[in-house]
């Protein structure tokens, strides 16, 4: 079945450091890919998405490119801020998974001032 694998956390970085959170997926067909973020005590927010190969999703300085050849959707940000501290979830939805989103296990990110 469809699945998402993302790097284990926690990840701790200093402010203004470069961020990469790795995400790979297994799916039949051509899934849509997403990054969601969960701030402490809150629900999930859609951060960015990409619906086809080579698409780049971007939002709030974060970017991720849909790489079909490597089945990856790595999240990057050039200069992180303390306010980026949260849990990040990579996710996919495909027509074979119908209307349900399949999430990775989440990566906790902590940014030191």
Partner 1 sequence: KAGVTQTPRYLIKTRGQQVTLSCSPISGHRSVSWYQQTPGQGLQFLFEYFSETQRNKGNFPGRFSGRQFSNSRSEMNVSTLELGDSALYLCASSSGRILGEQYFGPGTRLTVT
75 interacts with partner 1 by CB under 8 A: no
Query: With binding defined as CB under 8 A, does residue 107 bind partner 1?
Result: no
Alpha-carbon distance of 113 to 100, in angstroms, equals 37
The whole-angstrom separation of Cα 94 and Cα 49 is: 13
- If binding means CB under 8 A, how many residues of this protein chain bind partner 1? 25
**Span of 13-21, 56-64, 74-82, 99-107 interacting with partner 1 by CB under 8 A:** 99-107
> How many CB atoms are closer than 10 A to CB 103?
16
- When asked if residue 57 is in the footprint of partner 1 (CB under 8 A), the reply is no
Helix (H, G, I), strand (E, B) or coil at 64: strand
Q: How far apart are CA 79 and CA 99, in angstroms?
A: 34
Q: Is 7 in the site for partner 1 (CB under 8 A)?
A: no
Enumerate binding residues for partner 1 (CB under 8 A): 32, 34, 36, 41-46, 49, 51, 89, 91-93, 95, 98-106
């Amino acid at each position: 079945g469809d699945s998402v694998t993302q790097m284990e956390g926690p990840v701790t970085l200093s402010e203004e450091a470069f961020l990469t959170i790795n995400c790979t997926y297994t799916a039949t067909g051509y899934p849509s890919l997403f990054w969601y973020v969960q701030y402490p005590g809150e629900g999930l927010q859609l951060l960015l998405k990409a619906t086809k190969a080579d698409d780049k999703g971007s939002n709030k300085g974060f970017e991720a490119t849909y790489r079909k050849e490597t089945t990856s959707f790595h999240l990057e940000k050039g200069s992180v801020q303390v306010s980026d501290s949260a849990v990040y979830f990579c996710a996919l939805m495909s027509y074979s998974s119908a209307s349900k989103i399949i999430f990775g296990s989440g990566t906790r990110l902590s940014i030191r001032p």
